[in-house]
Amino acid sequence: MFLISFIIIYNIDLRAFDTPNDDGSSITLKWQSNEIFQTFEIFRSLDAEGIFEKISEVDGIETNFRDFNLNPKIDYFYRITGKKDSISTFSNIAGPVRPVVQYFNLSRLPMAICIIILFASVLTYISHARKGKKLFIRKIPALNAIEEAIGRATEMGKPVLYVPGIMDIDDPQTIASMSILARVAEKTAEYGTPLYVPTSRSMAMTMAQQVVKESATRVGRPDWYNPDNIRYITDDQFAYVSAVDGIMVRERPATNLYLGTFYAESLILAETGHSTGAVQIAGTAMPDQLPFFVAACDFTLLGEELYAASAYLSQEPIQLGSLRGQDLGKLIFITVIIVGVLSQIFNWQFFINLFNTIE
């Protein structure tokens, strides 16, 4: 039995070019043909008259291929062969082509423009805040309730409990919590109300002690500060929660503030505080824990409101400017998303092409 293979040469139009917006290590191949093939074999050579080495095989529906890990100092030649049963169809030889390093990815230019606008807005608002210009920040109900809750504790002659989360001071939520603690300490010192701050990290305790001490001094009540009320409990998650629950049951604080990073202990804390009849205000950027705080607390700072609260209370120009600039950036991104959806619906090609990869 003899197997006869027919080789018929047709014209497959092959084009090879440097891949745009890459690091100079790849070449892109594109081809067109009126014939239908089962597979395409891709060959590469360093010489148009030399031996072509097979480097890959792709499905017959493909019309492009990207060759990686190339040397940007060498010229390459390419050829493809379309296979259909025993019939082979050859393309023209494409080349020479050499990969070129692009130092700027132009396909990401729209994103670069958005980032520049965001940074410019942040710096502009920081500058305005430093010059004393009043920046509007919407009122957050939970923050307005903090002073009322402290006043309630003062009237009842009971302490305020402040829980700054269970993470260390390198956590952004803990840092934001310390800014809020400074404001809470000012009010409690001004009213002469005891303030308990149990911490689960030794460094957080040190920072909390310093923050509370400075706040007491700032309102002219340095004698009110008691370092024994700001305690390090333990790094263990549930041992810490047990100790805090014990403080709630024994001391019966009139106001409980949970502001920082929380995990599975959130509901344990909130339920125990609720059982003692305390006014509870919570805030965290942990999405999984927010439902528990919303259900068991009187007021809740949702997500990024925790960070906004620190800027709102401190009135620090850099924080205020950053907050306003980020709000403007979010507005821009939301607008782009909406326009992008409408562009797909109504086929606005200009906006669609603006975010397509440039070739």
Query: Could you tell me the two tokens for 159?
Result: 């302490």
Q: What is the pLDDT of residues 251-280, one digit of tens each?
A: 999 999 999 999 999 999 999 999 999 999
Check pLDDT > 90 for residue 16.
Answer: yes
Q: What is the pLDDT of residues 320-334, one digit of tens each?
A: 788 888 888 888 888
At residue 200, the pLDDT reads 94
Q: What is the pLDDT of residues 349-359, one digit of tens each?
A: 777 776 664 44
Highest mean pLDDT among 38-52, 325-339, 341-355: 38-52
Q: What is the pLDDT of residues 192-228, one digit of tens each?
A: 999 999 999 999 999 999 999 999 999 999 999 999 9
Pair 42, 82: CB distance under 8 Å: no
Domains and CATH numbers, the chain: 13-97 (2.60.40.10), 135-315 (3.40.50.2300)
**Mean per-residue pLDDT for 40-49?**
92
Of 97 and 140, which is predicted with more confidence? 97
Q: How far apart are CA 273 and CA 245, in angstroms?
A: 8
Q: What is the DSSP letter of 98?
A: -
135: closest CA among 145, 121, 117, 146? 121
Q: What percent of the chain has pLDDT over 90?
A: 55
Q: How far apart are CA 348 and CA 355, in angstroms?
A: 12
Check pLDDT > 80 for residue 9.
Answer: no
At residue 131, the pLDDT reads 83
At residue 3, the pLDDT reads 45
